[in-house]
Structure 1
């Protein structure tokens, strides 16, 4: 079948719809499969990093397949790809395989194997369609630019990305999501068949897909890869930087990825006005925003987040515009997209896997900002400078040396005047203005601008990050985040980005054994811990999910058995091995610590082996949703004794988690009471506001806890709120202020 000439006007809308729909499915499946995997695989970082690598590898494989397929005769390309789509359809409806990991299985190896076997063929087939269909369009409609269709592809990706957390996840259980995606796959397959019908039939086999343009050189391909590498890496680095050093708001990861996808839509659009304007202002934004953001904005977190997102968008549009300007002829299209996919994959690997191993802070963020400043297309801001420097290599060398000398002097002045006050001195303010002026004047000369930008990144606050890194044990980084230990002669704190994870008083052994922060005696967990001898006698069995600095260990009494569940080995080292905190060494010198995801660890624990289980995994404003489902609470009920108590810490700056726990309690037959603790004035023992919910299947135990303590009230549910399950959960109704 071939579309008739009279219907030729329908060809472009058909290709746009097909490419948009394919991209929509591709970005809908990623968070969907992650939700499917969460209860089974837990929240270990190896799970998410391995899944990301699988997605990137399959995407790269799909682009390579599309590049190879372009060598075949057009009609044969259509038949082969439709055959691949039909073969992949054997994996419908989409879902994870039934196999389970063994007790000694390595997630870094087992998770990719599970994902490849479960969704690999489907993801591979759909991922190939953006470059492949653009190639088909260039064959079907000669003389029309196929690159504009890439804008439709990324628009579909953007819509799919937003549709999952905003529409699909809140309204559908996983069963319905699987059917929705599978139906979409069938529809896309039919659209691809219609696109294949537009391919020319009257061309000889050997001349079906002629490649007549000269091949790109190695430098050009390397340039493509770099231009794709930096925005991809910066997108992930921005997410890490914002949630680590600015604000750990739920769903914030969606915004950087969405802006990254939108940048392609602008950069590859037929109307070049928006792309050209943003490319021209990008160097100024990189110079100003980059320096300020690296210095941090602790007093204005939301403004800092907005600036970081704006910078990411401008950089992405600028560098992707550079890609568009360097695009080859349509007959080299698939190779171009293959290089882009390779660069994007490298950027993701650098920011998600390599950077946490190499750096103790989010140094990948300023490194990528610096790379963006050098790579972004430059235009001279002032015409006289173009005349002065553009045509004379000797003058450009003098400019580079002069800028380097100015930046060295400026940085030394900033370091020498790094005083005790938070605000910069008058001399420092003058130096910062000089750096900005030099940076603006060098726009148009990438090397000189890069040197000026490096000076700005260091002088505006980068030196402070370097100074902390030089302090022994002051900062530790793992796949879960950046941990900083700081304090004074009277107290020491552990912070995860902007969130305090523990505080210890200093000065005497008694002060060091004092529970602080969310765990003071008046808090919900403090009252429950003090009630242990009354509730369960001298041999109470206690489990704690989330070690932190080990503060809760100071409630332990002789004869009790305590066990901690901690997912991050870095936290264990800080709390137990480095000597920075002494809660464990002074109160529980030989603790039992189980490493790994708590839900998976508890699934293997003995029945009725605990009297009290405290869940303290939510204080960083990032919610491990698989720990709050009905299935998770059923696991807790199995591990707890019939009179056991479950304590859930729900303090959160952005989410109201009380309806989640209350709904799970009602569904599971638990009695639930909550205690909102507000420290008195003046604050003693570094007390922090906190909210804990206590649950038990024995009403008498809850009544006894209420009688011994004070402030316990029935947990408040929410009318119409559906309990979370492994197949359904959403945080949108819980966002405070909505």
Structure 2
């Protein structure tokens, strides 16, 4: 152990970052009963965290005017004040008005975790500054790698350990204990620097920061570079999350992977040993061109290859951009200023992706735009030397690059057009794609050709098709997802939510009221609604959670009382404007209540419905807060004593049967399941529907129609608002 006590400062930074990123998913999990399960919820939460991080870094920078003793005293007081909000509990505020979710969610997170998060967020730059105050400290920047390693560990600990093992109340209490231990570590750090020189850290020779640094104050051009190098990876991390959950595969907690790799990229980029960072810098241009093209090419196909390509691209590109950021770092006397600018850049990237993009764009256009931003910033030195410098004549090089751009554009367009009809590429098409990508490596010879080549590949391998859809006005985006209208070859009209078919209406008046997709007459919900009069008489009261294109409306019989619940006004607009006419043809007078159905049902009178249908999906994922013990209690309250609850549990990635069985057992409900394998190429899809009731009388009537069977036995602990984990129920083979 040296007098500088690097181990103590490293441990303190690790602990603070661990707590910081352990609390992020914990608070998001607390908020689930109040949210609709949309991918943008996490982006909104991340925007709050980035804003608080910016505030913490600004506070750390402003503290530089004081002596180290005063800095330590002030920071300990701030930590103690943040601790007054512990243990953390969700702020009690009114639910959002429809359309205001993008602002309501950040406000909820700010009130819930703001003080404690702000106090810890200043740790990394502040403690690095204190460490550098010792004459024997050496380079302080690798401590930032330790900070992000702690962040990465905290982020993974939550879904793998904390969420599966502990209810939220215990999670919050253990986190509060960790916060107290952190304060003790900070006090130890302050004591370790007692007597050190106060005020601004004196400038040091470049050798003291591992060969980097400057005796001159950093100029605005370099500051602009810092902003770009921090904003693009931050935005790319969030756009990758949205891109994956919208266009590749929708599964809960998928955001953990992009955020975890984003944090890990700092640990590699800021490490004292530069070998791994140098390797990533060399690979990044190749990965950007290849994986960016593959991700765009497979967008909307729920393709695992595209998911893997997007994640790898994020990681490698983030390491390369952060490595360039590290190489441009200033003298330690400007350390807090450097991290302040970094946090501003990160917040700008989050602002663009979480708030501006959902309003400005009809698709995840932020993702290809940020890929282009990365192309403009990636270090190209090794490739310029490897390719560009081999052709001495600049005019000849320019001709070669322009010719390569034209060939790539036409070949990629031809390949994309030929692949539209078939989801699986032939061997010849794969060979053509690999040939195009190999040719594209020439673009790295110069910056202009690299940016232009990246744009050409993104545009020709899918971007042009998305542009056409945008111009045609057949797509809309809201806080809860991206919806696309598609007319099929036979004239049928379908609505896509991300990669999932949300409904189909047949062409022609004779077929326009025929139930389709997961709601056909042989589906569980179809069988249940067709027997509504037989079970409850001609005045049956039906509630449907999740409007979709309104397919279920055409099961309505004369005299029945129907009510629909829909969280997203955009979904209702497709019916109001007449694109889908199920609602207007079959249930024109039935009300559609806009808002989160769980909250709306909770506010309604008891025994309101005879049959309640739960069919709320966010693309392919069912919002978790609709599948908890408390949620089932709300549904029971809304149902008449002999009412029937019908739940849609079709899911490619999670086994929901044992979850529903456990929920039913906890509420003493009888259950049966209908697995409809009816699948034709036009309009009928396989589906799984569960019927739940207090007694067997009505379930027996359903079983008379045939096709119903017993539900799988319950497994695991009952899901509650306080505890739920999807890990035991993942269908791993479907990810391959």
TM-score strictly above 0.5? yes
* Distance of 1:194 and 1:100 partners within structure 2: 42
* Distance of 2:461 and 2:38 partners within structure 1: 35
Q: Residue 340 of structure 2 is aligned with which of 321, 333, 338?
A: 338
Residue in structure 2 matched with residue 609 of structure 1 by the alignment: 608
* Distance of 2:98 and 2:385 partners within structure 1: 66
Deviation of 1:667 (Å): 1.3
Secondary structure in 2 aligned to 1:594?
A: strand
Q: Is the 8 A contact 1:432 1:456 kept in 2?
A: no
> How many aligned positions are there?
719
* Distance of 2:452 and 2:555 partners within structure 1: 55
Q: Is the 8 A contact 1:667 1:723 kept in 2?
A: yes
* Distance of 1:27 and 1:417 partners within structure 2: 43
Deviation of 1:227 (Å): 0.4
* Distance of 1:310 and 1:671 partners within structure 2: 46
* Distance of 1:117 and 1:252 partners within structure 2: 25
Q: Is the 8 A contact 1:619 1:652 kept in 2?
A: no
Deviation of 1:73 (Å): 0.7
1:347 counterpart = 2:341: no
Residue in structure 1 matched with residue 717 of structure 2 by the alignment: 722
1:713 counterpart = 2:712: no
Q: Is the 8 A contact 1:20 1:155 kept in 2?
A: yes
Q: Is the 8 A contact 1:74 1:208 kept in 2?
A: no
Secondary structure in 2 aligned to 1:620?
A: coil
Q: Is the 8 A contact 2:380 2:444 kept in 1?
A: yes
Residue in structure 2 matched with residue 523 of structure 1 by the alignment: 523
Secondary structure in 2 aligned to 1:70?
A: helix
User: Once superposed, what is the RMSD of the aligned Cα atoms?
Assistant: 2.8
Q: Deviation per CA, 1:654-694, whole angstroms, max 9, x where unpaired?
A: 101112211111111221111111116xx386211111111
Cα separation, partners in 2 of 1:114 and 1:428, compared to 1, 3 Å: closer
Aligned pairs (5 A) from 1:276-295? 276-295=278-297
* Distance of 1:384 and 1:266 partners within structure 2: 24
Q: Is the 8 A contact 1:44 1:596 kept in 2?
A: no
* Distance of 1:619 and 1:79 partners within structure 2: 48
Q: Residue 684 of structure 2 is aligned with which of 684, 687, 709?
A: 687
* Distance of 2:526 and 2:151 partners within structure 1: 47
Residue in structure 2 matched with residue 3 of structure 1 by the alignment: none
Secondary structure in 2 aligned to 1:381?
A: helix
Q: Deviation per CA, 1:112-143, whole angstroms, max 9, x where unpaired?
A: 45443432211110111011111111113545
Secondary structure in 1 aligned to 2:383?
A: coil
Cα separation, partners in 2 of 1:113 and 1:457, compared to 1, 3 Å: closer
Secondary structure in 1 aligned to 2:606?
A: coil
Cα separation, partners in 2 of 1:69 and 1:365, compared to 1, 3 Å: same
Cα separation, partners in 2 of 1:37 and 1:426, compared to 1, 3 Å: closer
Residue in structure 2 matched with residue 493 of structure 1 by the alignment: 494
Deviation of 1:43 (Å): 4.5
* Distance of 2:99 and 2:428 partners within structure 1: 58
Q: Is the 8 A contact 2:234 2:350 kept in 1?
A: yes
Residue in structure 2 matched with residue 633 of structure 1 by the alignment: 632
1:170 counterpart = 2:168: no
Deviation of 1:699 (Å): 2.7
Deviation of 1:330 (Å): 0.9
Of 692-701 and 487-496, deviating more is: 487-496
Q: Is the 8 A contact 1:672 1:696 kept in 2?
A: yes
Deviation of 1:464 (Å): 2.0
1:703 counterpart = 2:708: no
Residue in structure 1 matched with residue 207 of structure 2 by the alignment: none
* Distance of 1:563 and 1:163 partners within structure 2: 42
Cα separation, partners in 2 of 1:108 and 1:570, compared to 1, 3 Å: closer
Residue in structure 1 matched with residue 57 of structure 2 by the alignment: 63
Cα separation, partners in 2 of 1:10 and 1:670, compared to 1, 3 Å: farther
Q: Is the 8 A contact 1:140 1:198 kept in 2?
A: no
Deviation of 1:278 (Å): 1.0
Residue in structure 1 matched with residue 20 of structure 2 by the alignment: 26
* Distance of 1:228 and 1:103 partners within structure 2: 34
Q: Deviation per CA, 1:411-458, whole angstroms, max 9, x where unpaired?
A: 467668975664899999999788656642342421221112211222
Residue in structure 1 matched with residue 202 of structure 2 by the alignment: 210
Residue in structure 1 matched with residue 651 of structure 2 by the alignment: 652
Q: Is the 8 A contact 2:675 2:707 kept in 1?
A: yes
Secondary structure in 2 aligned to 1:726?
A: coil
* Distance of 2:84 and 2:391 partners within structure 1: 62
* Distance of 2:313 and 2:44 partners within structure 1: 28
Residue in structure 1 matched with residue 89 of structure 2 by the alignment: 95
Residue in structure 2 matched with residue 127 of structure 1 by the alignment: 121
Residue in structure 1 matched with residue 623 of structure 2 by the alignment: 624
* Distance of 2:171 and 2:618 partners within structure 1: 30
* Distance of 1:690 and 1:32 partners within structure 2: 33
Secondary structure in 1 aligned to 2:84?
A: helix
1:84 counterpart = 2:59: no
Instruction: List alignment gaps of at least 5 residues for structure 1.
Output: 1-6
Cα separation, partners in 2 of 1:617 and 1:539, compared to 1, 3 Å: same
Deviation of 1:704 (Å): 2.3
Instruction: List alignment gaps of at least 5 residues for structure 2.
Output: 205-214
1:505 counterpart = 2:506: yes
Of 581-590 and 320-329, deviating more is: 581-590
* Distance of 2:567 and 2:538 partners within structure 1: 29
* Distance of 1:160 and 1:102 partners within structure 2: 30
Deviation of 1:282 (Å): 0.8
1:548 counterpart = 2:545: no
Q: Is the 8 A contact 1:543 1:614 kept in 2?
A: yes
* Distance of 1:64 and 1:471 partners within structure 2: 45
TM-score, length of structure 2 as denominator length: 0.91
Q: Is the 8 A contact 1:619 1:650 kept in 2?
A: no
Q: Is the 8 A contact 2:248 2:303 kept in 1?
A: yes
Q: Is the 8 A contact 2:523 2:674 kept in 1?
A: yes
Residue in structure 2 matched with residue 188 of structure 1 by the alignment: 182
Cα separation, partners in 2 of 1:42 and 1:459, compared to 1, 3 Å: closer
* Distance of 2:623 and 2:9 partners within structure 1: 40
* Distance of 1:618 and 1:605 partners within structure 2: 22
* Distance of 1:731 and 1:699 partners within structure 2: 30
* Distance of 2:16 and 2:109 partners within structure 1: 20
Aligned pairs (5 A) from 1:319-468? 319-381=321-383, 383=385, 385-387=387-389, 395=394, 403=401, 407=405, 411=409, 422=420, 436=437, 439-468=440-469
Q: Is the 8 A contact 2:37 2:618 kept in 1?
A: no
TM-score, length of structure 1 as denominator length: 0.91
Residue in structure 2 matched with residue 4 of structure 1 by the alignment: none
* Distance of 1:624 and 1:209 partners within structure 2: 51
